Each structure stands twice: as structure tokens, then as C-alpha cells.
Amino acid sequence: MNTRLLIDWTRCEARGLCIELVPEVLTADDWGYPLSRHGDVTLPIPAPAIRYAEEAVRECPRLALRLIED
């Protein structure tokens, strides 16, 4: 089972909060939008980072984030 971060790209406005909270998974692209640091666009979240990802979901100013399990 994997926990993944799902970004609603129609909402995200590159405020970068998620990038600060989950730097092991995300980095910024040339315009400040979250980009997978390791190239996997499905954004799997390693166990130790899950609680920070949950915080990003709660705090994203655009309510653009969700965590899914698959």
C-alpha cells in the first residue's frame, strides 16, 4: 500500500507551502509549482513524511491537496 499526494492542478497557485513541508518529496519548478524531487509524478510519500504531508493537506491555502491510498 502506498500513500500518495494528489495535487489538484486547477487549484494550486504555487504558494510553495507543501514544498517547504515535504521537501523529501517535492521541489519547486521554474515557476514555483511543486515538482517531484525524484521524478515520480505519482508522488509516493515515505512513512516518516506522512504527518508533514497531512499538515500540507490541512494548510494548503488553495485546498488543492489530498492524500490517497492505493
Residues forming contacts to another protein in the complex (CB under 8 A) are 6-14, 29-31, 33, 35, 39, 41-42, 68
Inter-residue contact 69 to 3 (CB < 8 Å): yes
Residue 14 Cβ vs another protein, minimum distance, rounded to whole Å: 6
Check binding of 37 to ligand SF4 (CB under 6 A): no
Residue 18 Cβ vs ligand SF4, minimum distance, rounded to whole Å: 3
- Binding pattern for the stretch 39-68 against ligand SF4, x by CB under 6 A and - elsewhere: -----------------x---xxx-xx---
Check binding of 14 to ligand SF4 (CB under 6 A): yes
By three-state DSSP, how is residue 55 classified? helix
**How many residues in total does the chain contain?**
70
H or E stretch including 29? none
- Torsion sign across C-alpha atoms 29, 17, 4, 50: positive
